[in-house]
Chains A and B, each alone.
Chain A
């Protein structure tokens, strides 16, 4: 059944049509929530809340991209959850160095005892990327997750977070630059292409 038809039926109160729409987009929604929140349980809660919220607000849907509308509700739920987490801070994964200072990057995760070749693994890279994503500000994280992780185009993202495309471009460029800066903390853990150096000149 076409999406438009499902939406019309859902608007008339057809729960089955609504659930079909949920099934269509739930994986994408959950993935976004997971990358925003960094936890499967929190992502599941946020996605469920978003679905309930979407059902309640269904009458306010005024056409346009249903996917953007759904993703907007999910991202709002995630932002609310992130704010709640800030009000109730949990144990940080940041570690203290020998001087007792909090280290800004996740370079503490590297294990120097391992051979160099073994350090470069997909698991390590994933940890580094996840940690750097978590360290981004919400507005940058939302954009980079939607564009680079979920693969959405600028228009969808602009519709999702309700900002102009120009703002999306700007935020995305900053988010990528911040990610790159963060990944520098991992140094040689990363593939050579990630290793940027300001003190060495490339030949």
Chain B
């Protein structure tokens, strides 16, 4: 969806997302503790976390939109703008870096025609970013494509990995 389309609430009454959030709230002594999980639900449903999404969550959890934005901007995994259908994160932190991770990142940039880190390809399919330590250093280079975690990626494997994606 584009950022200018009218906002459809994620947590509409009776909906699945609302049920999910309502189940989470009793796990914590304060409702605010469900803020990160609620934002994850927004991102899952909408692909990113818009200002309207933040405002909706703020309303549900008795927080201000500014507070929610402050939290969103702290964490790297919430997208504050739309990203490609396939969001590709390549770990290039030191342990992977010394095993050739930069070449893996370059291969993704080349084969997705994005050309530059953080830029979405013109067909809207791909965004490639470098990510700090994915915590799978023994399987250099780990790559995340959306929720899928792929180990031991080399530049040679990149075309095949991309060919699987629709």
Q: Do A and B bind each other?
A: no
Partner-A contacts on B (CB < 8 A)? none
Partner-B contacts on A (CB < 8 A)? none
